[in-house]
Amino acid sequence: MKEDSRNGGFVDRSLIGILAFLKNSLFAEEHALKHGFIQSLDPRIKTLTFILFIVVILLAKTIPLVLSLYLLCLLLACISKVNLGFFLKRTWIFIPLFSLFIALPALFSNFTPGEELFSFKAAGLALVITRPGALTVLLFVLRVTAIVSFAVLLSITTRHCELLKVLRIFGIPQAFVMVLGVCYRYIYIFIGIIENTYLAIKSRVGTEIHYKSGQQIVGWNIAFLWVRSYRLNEDVYKAMLSRGYNGEPYVLDDFKVNSRDWLWLAFSGVIGICITCFFH
Amino acid sequence: MHNLLFSLKNVWFSYLGKFPALAAVDIDINAGQKISIIGANGSGKSTLLHLLDGLIFADKGAASFCGRELNEKDFNDSEFSRNFRRKVGFVFQNPDVQLFCPTVKEDIIFGPLQLGFGKDETQKRLEKLIAILAIEGLLERSPNQLSIGEKRKVALASTLIIRPDILILDEPTAGLDPLTTRHIIDLLIDENISGKTIITSTHDLHIVEEISDVVYVFGRERRIVKFGSPDSILSDTALLSENNLVHIHSHRHKDKVHVHPHVRLEHHLQDGEPG
């Protein structure tokens, strides 16, 4: 686009960055395929215990309790061969930082009165940070971080197809799970189409085109993608019909629980109860 | 005829009622036959195969399977639909359409589970099939991670596991390397020897002779312009040329320029020269 080269570069980088992020976060199964501790567990037991930990964190009212569960999560990441730097980056960007901004006002005496910890002036206003305010914010951010960490650890150490199967076991209607699975499958194809279309445009017109033409090309491609997705939708439905689908999908559950899974379940239960009792 | 499977009499079909796709098609297909449908792009081959698989229905004319008319109403009867789907298997042109599950294994076992074969039977069939097609290493992978050849093999497996009596294949070798093409052709020939009816659409004339007892040629008007034995069709260069199925091929063997329509390898062997 001929706004200026910096903008063109920005659009380029954004598009390629978004597509690469989608591919890496949705489709890369690098950590799920490693032979670590969490990866070796049955996905149902793993999900159940992670949900248990998340519930304990949600109900926790003390910082040491949440902190100990967060440390347990980091320990699990380490023994599951997940790179700690990658894991911290993945869990601390966005959600915990975002939650910090939300919780920030609670620091001050106007919202959380109590013992003064620190005071300062900003724009002619006297602001007082209170001890209860600071503790509330710390607990909130830590809680969000711990929950996000458990959720991320579960998603990166479990193959997406297994997570979808687990949804079925937790009572989510089969038709809904199947739609999710089909979406997951075809998002990848559409990412490929967008990438190739972008390269095809770039190879023929370059990046230096008038913004109006650029808008036309983008608009035309959105329409083209819509038509393709509509056609694909029809064809996939035909392929399902052709193999006997009649609106009620049947699936094979081939999970196997072994003694290690039962041990982990018992251990998680005991840990959950002990931590809760000890810190309450 | 007692072993007549499909019978199409003066069948017409158009998309949305205004884009003609089939015109006055007459075809009879008997049990155990190998049928090839050849024609240029957009000549109606895929539409015909979809019609034979009961995915679309004729606007005009009569299409029947084992003496029973193929219409939408009958496919709403779950018993008829299930029996039909157990007997007729379809391999789509685009394997990405056929492989819609998150993993290869789920894709392969989708058909038998829907058709009520039971979990143990499905598992047994799967084990047998992965040994035949040598796809054990692919089972836990996502279809996104497969090459086009692997996708076609898996798409074929997802149909073969149903063990249909009739196998319909829409351009099964398109875009494949010669070795994978060979594997697929060998597999189809084996299936035919074991008694299955094979109906294939293709524009790869090199494979037509092996996979056909009868060849139907579709013309630009989306109607059958000729049918007959592979020999009689493949030797009709004017017909093939008129329907965009051959081109004049010129190349050099040592110092001798060699010009011929590109139909069969035998053209290269006429002078005792390799292709």
pLDDT for A220 equals 85
| B85 closest CB neighbour out of A159, A188, A242 | A242
Q: Are strands B19-30 and A125-130 parallel, antiparallel or unpaired?
A: unpaired
- Judging contacts by C-beta atoms under 8 Å, the chain A residues touching residue B140 are 159
Q: Domain range spanning residue A71?
A: 31-158+250-279
Q: Are residues B160 and B258 in the same domain?
A: no
Region A186-203: mean pLDDT is: 82
Helix (H) or strand (E) holding A17: helix A5-22
Task: Give bridge partners of residue B4 from the DSSP assignment.
Answer: B30
Total domains in the fold of chain A: 1
In chain B, which residue's Cα lies nearest the Cα of A160? B102
Q: How many CB atoms lie within 10 A of CB A136?
A: 17
User: A5-14, A41-50, B247-256 — which is least confidently predicted?
Assistant: A5-14
Region A19-45: mean pLDDT is: 79
Q: Are residues B192 and B256 in the same domain?
A: no
In chain B, which residue's Cα lies nearest the Cα of A186? B100
- Judging contacts by C-beta atoms under 8 Å, the chain A residues touching residue B115 are 243-244
* CATH number of the domain residue B110 falls in: 3.40.50.300
Q: Are residues B134 and B263 in the same domain?
A: no
pLDDT in tens, A107-159: 887 787 888 878 787 777 778 888 888 898 899 989 999 999 999 999 889 88
> Is residue A13, in this structure, part of any structural domain at all?
no
- CA of B249 vs chain A CAs: smallest distance (Å): 31
In chain B, which residue's Cα lies nearest the Cα of A247? B114
Which amino acid belongs to residue B164?
Answer: P
Which amino acid belongs to residue A45?
Answer: I
pLDDT for B269 equals 47
Q: Are residues B17 and B35 in the same domain?
A: yes
- For residues B36 and B24, the answer to whether their CB atoms sit within 8 Å is no
| DSSP reduced 3-state for A170 | coil
Q: Domain range spanning residue B206?
A: 4-244
pLDDT for B28 equals 95
* CA terminus-to-terminus distance, chain B: 43
C-alpha span between B152 and B181 (Å, rounded): 10
Q: Are strands B60-65 and B34-39 parallel, antiparallel or unpaired?
A: unpaired
C-alpha span between A120 and A159 (Å, rounded): 50
Sheet containing B224-228: which strands, arranged edge to edge?
Answer: B88-91, B166-170, B197-202, B34-39, B214-218, B224-228
Q: How many CB atoms lie within 10 A of CB B227?
A: 18
By percentage, how much of chain A surpasses pLDDT 90?
16
Model confidence at A89: pLDDT above 60:
yes
Q: Are strands B224-228 and B214-218 parallel, antiparallel or unpaired?
A: antiparallel
- Judging contacts by C-beta atoms under 8 Å, the chain B residues touching residue A237 are none
C-alpha span between B26 and B189 (Å, rounded): 25
A100 vs B46: which has the higher pLDDT: B46
Structure token pair of residue A54: 């998340």
- The closest alpha carbon to B12, from B39, B47, B37, B55, belongs to B47
C-alpha span between B91 and A45 (Å, rounded): 38
C-alpha span between A71 and A52 (Å, rounded): 16
From first to last of its 275 residues, chain B has per-residue pLDDT tens of 458 999 999 999 999 888 899 999 999 999 999 999 999 888 999 999 999 999 999 999 999 999 999 998 888 888 999 999 999 999 999 999 999 888 899 999 999 999 999 889 999 999 999 888 888 899 988 898 899 889 999 999 999 999 999 999 999 988 888 888 898 999 999 999 999 999 999 988 889 999 999 999 999 889 999 999 999 999 888 888 888 887 666 667 677 766 666 655 455 444 444 43
Q: Categorize the per-residue pLDDT at A203 as very low, low, confident or very high, splitting at 50, 70 and 90.
A: confident
Mutation for B interface: A242, A246, A255, most B CBs within 10 A = A242
- The closest alpha carbon to A129, from A139, A140, A116, A138, belongs to A116
> Is residue A215, in this structure, part of any structural domain at all?
no
pLDDT for B218 equals 93
CA torsion angle B198 A244 B81 B66 (round to 10): 10
pLDDT for B35 equals 96
Q: Are strands B34-39 and B197-202 parallel, antiparallel or unpaired?
A: parallel
Model confidence at A240: pLDDT above 70:
yes
Confirm whether pTM is higher than 0.90.
no
Q: Are residues B71 and B184 in the same domain?
A: yes
C-alpha span between B214 and B234 (Å, rounded): 11
- The closest alpha carbon to B165, from B184, B192, B187, belongs to B192
Residues 65-124 of B with CB under 8 A from A: 78, 81-82, 85-86, 89-90, 92, 94, 96-103, 106, 109-111, 113-116, 119, 122-123
A211 vs B114: which has the higher pLDDT: B114
Structure token pair of residue A68: 């100990």
**HSE on the CB side for A195, CA within 13 Å?**
14
Contact at CB, B102 and A185, closer than 8 angstroms: yes
- The closest alpha carbon to B7, from B46, B87, B84, B62, belongs to B62
> Is residue A15, in this structure, part of any structural domain at all?
no
Angle of helix A63-79 relative to helix A43-59, nearest 10 degrees, comes to 160
The answer for residues whose C-beta is within 8 angstroms of residue B187's C-beta and 6 or more apart is B132, B133, B156
Which amino acid belongs to residue A31?
Answer: H
User: A1-10, A14-23, A239-248 — which is least confidently predicted?
Assistant: A1-10
The answer for residues whose C-beta is within 8 angstroms of residue A249's C-beta and 6 or more apart is A174, A175, A178, B114
C-alpha span between A102 and A85 (Å, rounded): 25
The ipTM, to two decimals, is 0.85
Region A96-116: mean pLDDT is: 81
Q: Are residues B144 and B263 in the same domain?
A: no
Q: Are residues B238 and B253 in the same domain?
A: no
Total domains in the fold of chain B: 2
Q: Are residues B89 and B143 in the same domain?
A: yes
pLDDT for B271 equals 47
Q: Are residues B89 and B58 in the same domain?
A: yes
C-alpha span between B117 and B91 (Å, rounded): 20
Phi then psi dihedrals of residue A100, to 5 deg: -60, -45
- For residues A163 and A180, the answer to whether their CB atoms sit within 8 Å is no
Query: What is the 3-state secondary structure of chain B?
Result: CCCEEEEEEEEEEEECCCEEEEEEEEEEEECCCEEEEEECCCCCHHHHHHHHCCCCCCCEEEEEECCEECCHHHHCCHHHHHHHHHHEEEECCCHHHHCCCCCHHHHHHHHHHHCCCCHHHHHHHHHHHHHHHCCHHHCCCCHHHCCHHHHHHHHHHHHHCCCCCEEEEECCCCCCCHHHHHHHHHHHHHHHHCCCEEEEEECCHHHHCCCCCEEEEECCCCCEEEEECHHHHHCCHHHHHHCCCCCEEEEEECCEEEEEECCCCHHHHCCCCCC
> Is residue A44, in this structure, part of any structural domain at all?
yes
In chain A, which residue's Cα lies nearest the Cα of B105? A252
Residue A34 DSSP class: S
- Counting every residue, how long is chain A? 280
Q: Is A26 on the interface with B (CB under 8 A)?
A: no
pLDDT for B134 equals 86
pLDDT for B274 equals 41
> Is residue A127, in this structure, part of any structural domain at all?
yes
Q: Are residues B65 and B94 in the same domain?
A: yes
- CA of B103 vs chain A CAs: smallest distance (Å): 7
Q: Is A242 on the interface with B (CB under 8 A)?
A: yes
